[in-house]
Amino acid sequence: MADRECAHRHGFVAFLQGDIKREALLTGPYFRAQTGYPASPKTIGEAIRKRRLDLGLKQREAAKMIGCNYLTLVNWEKGHFTPRVNRMAGVVRFLGYNPLPTGSTIAKQLVAHRKARGLTQKNFARELGVDPSTLAKWERGDREPNGKFLERVLSKMKERR
């Protein structure tokens, strides 16, 4: 009790253990409650929110299924951030589909496939048996895979669909 009186006199409030929950309280201008059901999701965050609501899950439960922190999921749903490459495999698993546009060129298809699997260029290049700089050129559209490399690329892209 003396601690509380001292704290009150000095302009701050002291909390005893158990006075507050250990969860982060989401308040302030950046933590507005999101309302509405995203019937036609336009972003990856909206697609995650739609799927979560369809399954009747809380954000913490969905975050655990994806393999990320729940505040990360909150930021995705609110459109503050988009998932990084290393989280995309979990997002694709959770959604049941790849939310990234596949593209009309082999370059765009390579990028979408790699990101959906949550791979860096270095790791995907290793799988394909090429140098990371070669894969980077393919993804930029500077060059296109041909011959046995085109066969490898197409084979890798088919096996994960």
Most confident of 3-12, 110-119, 135-144: 135-144
Least confident of 43-47, 55-59, 101-105, 145-149: 101-105
Domain 1-83 has what CATH class? mainly alpha
Q: Which two tokens stand for residue 29?
A: 């201008």
List, for residues 116-154, the tens digit of each pLDDT value: 899 999 999 999 999 999 999 999 999 999 999 999 998
Answer yes or no: same fold for 1-83 and 106-159: yes
Domain boundaries, the chain: 1-83, 106-159
Task: List, in order, residues 6 or more apart from 156 with CB less than 8 Å away.
Answer: 113, 127, 128
List, for residues 54-65, the tens digit of each pLDDT value: 999 999 999 999
In CATH, the architecture of 106-159 is: Orthogonal Bundle (1.10)
More confident residue, 149 or 14: 149
Counted residue by residue, the chain has a size of 161
